[in-house]
Chain A
């Protein structure tokens, strides 16, 4: 059976430090203003009974991805392993998928820009092919890396070891055990998109 890749993010361990954001920025070499992993922060309650909340987000690699459905050119594709990718040669940058994604996980095209105005670094030059003006970008669980036997960049980097990546089809995998334990949740379940990203809150591994 083909694997179904998924991720669990343990919010008890997460310290909202943005290491995932930066690791993704480096691994995907995205241009300015394009971040495929982010940490959202919010507040709960009124002072002094208030609390800081945080939610690291990335593409949910949905079972029923709205982005794939709306793509007029078949550029957005769902792979057998569950990862949703964009065929950059087919993408025309219409951004229908950006609008359709209920999680805001896609970044619409921006003219390719460099971090230092008027100056392309050797790093940017080497990775330029991956950042093409007029194309849509998204998280793909670092599938090229995963195929080489590595973990997604955000998982490798997470100082709190709050991210667990693996095969949801393997019932023995850690990600399977954690994603099915009591207290795990997914974002906007009412949409029935079937996200492959699960969150844990106030629960312990059993």
Chain B
């Protein structure tokens, strides 16, 4: 809690008004904010002290710099139409301003035709630029006839399966949480009780300066929580850590496997009760890698040592076997736990040291500390309810560890570490990260007794010929794959597609910068007849559009934000919080429209407004009382009114939110704040042996065989299917095979100045100034010893080159990075075309230039995520070369 003396007492002068709202300058979009306007001029922004998340605080990137963004003369103001038919990042599009009416008419007519003919020909691509809007963001809604439809409100209403996020391929962190916790987007660190937190390749808040995550983090440190940071570079969080453990990038999996080995073979202390009662560890697995099922009930079975026979898992089993091999009906079966234990038998700390560069003794020490702090067997009573108390966590679902070819194997192994000490969905452990917070549905078991997999862990249904442009039929557990989309637009036959894309709508999305292989996207956009970009300023992808629609600055637009739990850490301050945020906007003299206004109007022009209303009803689960009529066109405030009323009662509406900024309540206080409460003891189980993954791999293989197909991205199917196993295993990245001249790895991280490109923070003048004077922000980082060996000096212009691209920037010689690693933070520089962009777009080396979207060798077969630690070489820049970009 902020102390009383830190609360604001905003004073108002004549002609002044405080406007309530929220900040939209990162993905979370959940910091309440007050904006002071004096005679129509925006003069001040501060955090809203009454907002239960940020409690009066804003971050450097966020609302504090918003004034410079709002008044930026480089913002787009009017719709634009291309006059130069030749598209290219260095081509002047020859923009002419057109009216909103003309733009809506032009786009609406074409969308209407496409959606009537074959809606698959429309691709809707969303990015973080519109994450404060409702109609572009990801939704999952029940599909008629079973399953879940994925998309955005707009794309589902349009009838296209082709909603493609441009933001995900470098951050595929969801699958393991979707599978093990049955939650999305991920599970998060409970800092209310945690005493020992291992953060691997990720931030738990401060590195990106989230105001409320940082407050909770600071409180946990004061409480005495120990932090271990596994990361090739020393971050702000590492500076607070009990241990900083530098690791060779892409080998975190070996470290995690060695921790599992150490716990099982050396420490030999783990939460046996949890494994036997709260996981499928005792389930018997047949030689095909699948559950051995009772022939009568088809249910998985457990070996009961007290009766020396296999029994259906749901019976009262006195002595479930975790170890050994048994014979059932002539077949050899083993408990899943045994397969995991056998799987890690060779992954000793000494083995891992050679791969990771982490000394074996450190792996042993960290493993021992972790088990010790987990307090296996202890309990805590909250509101009279007794929970297991496990204040130790292995928090690994970060892009630094998951965005590798072996990234999802790492995350799944991290989950094993937590399950071994029982630190899952209980106080102190990794816990609920899903809206609306802990509730009886989250851990609800399926017919096999396991937490139901959701979202990416469900597995996209197979269909041939396939429907999706981004390969969902062939990567059933993938995250977003815009890179596959781009290739398939250029050549649909690669993935056996029987249609060509005719229109693409980019909403707050700039894949040329945020993914990699910009030439691939350029070619794709050159081929698509109608590219529309809804954008706040001219960026690389927008410069390839046919029509540009300006998106309002967040300060000047009305909107509704439904709060989602935090992404980095949680404690009782926000646990079970249900909140909506609204905004009373500052003047919008040019009448620039919001993304939601644009999409709702386009749905009307294209003739699917009724479906749009229907999807709004379903996506927001509106009760009959507040449902939209399908044949009526609503004002956005009317729609928000209904969502607000449905969540908080008929007495509330958008006018209330404009007055108060937010509306909230705590829906799961105290004991109800932990999902264990709803399904205690052995009433639900988490997957410890990953049978679901194994099963989905076999299904895909069967489907491909049935249609006489090979996996379209892999010459050798085995390289794909070996990842679909129940037991995680060591798999080196292909980068290890790079020629020796590529002698270093390169890594990237999000920073306090640039976490997501939202709110136009890339072109923000104030932010640019502060980040440009930061000692580390726009530099290429190199270890001092490595620099000396190569004769390179601080501040020198250097070129970093991978096998896929090059970029140039200034060198920072430092002690804060692994000697085998170069670091390039943020997303600066860029793929070129600078002539036609906002001139404030920041300078520096462009990390993404060094990546490749080549499927066979460099993406994770489970998530479709791109390998983000390629091998590189570094050398002094030739004199004439220019900073940034692809050379």
Q: Residues of A at under 8 Å CB distance from B?
A: 12-13, 15-19, 21-23, 25-27, 32-33, 35, 38, 41-43, 45-48, 50-54, 115-116, 119, 121-123, 125-127, 148-151, 155-162, 165-166, 174, 204
Q: Which of B8, B38, B221, B770 contacts A18 (CB 8 A)?
A: B770
Q: Does B734 contact A (CB under 8 A)?
A: no
Q: Which of B47, B64, B206, B234 contacts A22 (CB 8 A)?
A: B64
How far is A158 from B209 in the complex, measured between Cα atoms in Å?
10
- Interface pair B60/A19, CB less than 8 Å apart: yes
- Interface pair A116/B209, CB less than 8 Å apart: no
Q: Which of B46, B74, B753, B815 contacts A47 (CB 8 A)?
A: B815
Binds A, one of B65-73, B443-451, B520-528, B856-864: B65-73
CB within 8 Å for A126 and B209 given contacts A116-B73, A156-B6, A157-B57: no
- Interface pair A47/B784, CB less than 8 Å apart: yes
- Interface pair A16/B236, CB less than 8 Å apart: yes
Q: In the complex, what's the smallest C-beta–C-beta distance from B84 to chain A, in angstroms?
A: 27
Contact with A along B746-761 (1 / 0, CB 8 A): 0000001100000000
**Residues of B with C-beta under 8 A to A158:** 57
Total B residues in contact with A, Cβ cutoff 8 Å: 71
**Residues of A with C-beta under 8 A to B59:** 17, 19, 159
Q: In the complex, what's the smallest C-beta–C-beta distance from B270 to chain A, in angstroms?
A: 30
- Interface pair A25/B234, CB less than 8 Å apart: no
How far is A23 from B42 in the complex, measured between Cα atoms in Å?
15
- Interface pair B215/A160, CB less than 8 Å apart: yes
How far is A33 from B773 in the complex, measured between Cα atoms in Å?
9
Q: Does B789 contact A (CB under 8 A)?
A: no
CB within 8 Å for A157 and B58 given contacts A47-B783, A174-B5: yes
**Residues of B with C-beta under 8 A to A26:** 44-45, 64-65, 67, 766
**Residues of B with C-beta under 8 A to A157:** 46-47, 57-58, 64
**Residues of B with C-beta under 8 A to A155:** 6
How far is A88 from B665 in the complex, measured between Cα atoms in Å?
49
Contact with A along B240-255 (1 / 0, CB 8 A): 1000101000000000
With A18-B753, A123-B41, A156-B56 known, 19 other A-B pairs at CB within 8 A are: A19-B58, A21-B770, A25-B770, A26-B45, A35-B770, A35-B773, A47-B246, A47-B815, A47-B816, A52-B234, A52-B235, A52-B236, A116-B74, A116-B765, A123-B71, A150-B11, A159-B59, A159-B209, A174-B3
Q: Does B696 contact A (CB under 8 A)?
A: no
**Residues of A with C-beta under 8 A to B5:** 151, 165-166, 174
How far is A47 from B782 in the complex, measured between Cα atoms in Å?
11
Q: Does B740 contact A (CB under 8 A)?
A: no
Instruction: List B221-262 residues whose CB lies under 8 Å from chain A.
Output: 221-222, 234-236, 238-240, 244, 246
Q: In the complex, what's the smallest C-beta–C-beta distance from A119 to chain B, in angstroms?
A: 5
Most buried by B among A119, A123, A157: A157
- Interface pair A122/B71, CB less than 8 Å apart: yes
Q: In the complex, what's the smallest C-beta–C-beta distance from B37 to chain A, in angstroms?
A: 11
How far is A111 from B819 in the complex, measured between Cα atoms in Å?
44
- Interface pair B774/A126, CB less than 8 Å apart: no
**Residues of B with C-beta under 8 A to A27:** 44
Q: Does B767 contact A (CB under 8 A)?
A: yes
- Interface pair A48/B244, CB less than 8 Å apart: yes
Most buried by B among A17, A115, A123: A17
**Residues of A with C-beta under 8 A to B46:** 156-157
- Interface pair A204/B222, CB less than 8 Å apart: yes
How far is A156 from B766 in the complex, measured between Cα atoms in Å?
19
6 cross-chain pairs, A with B, having the tightest CB-CB distances, nearest first: A17-B209, A50-B815, A121-B71, A159-B211, A15-B206, A115-B765
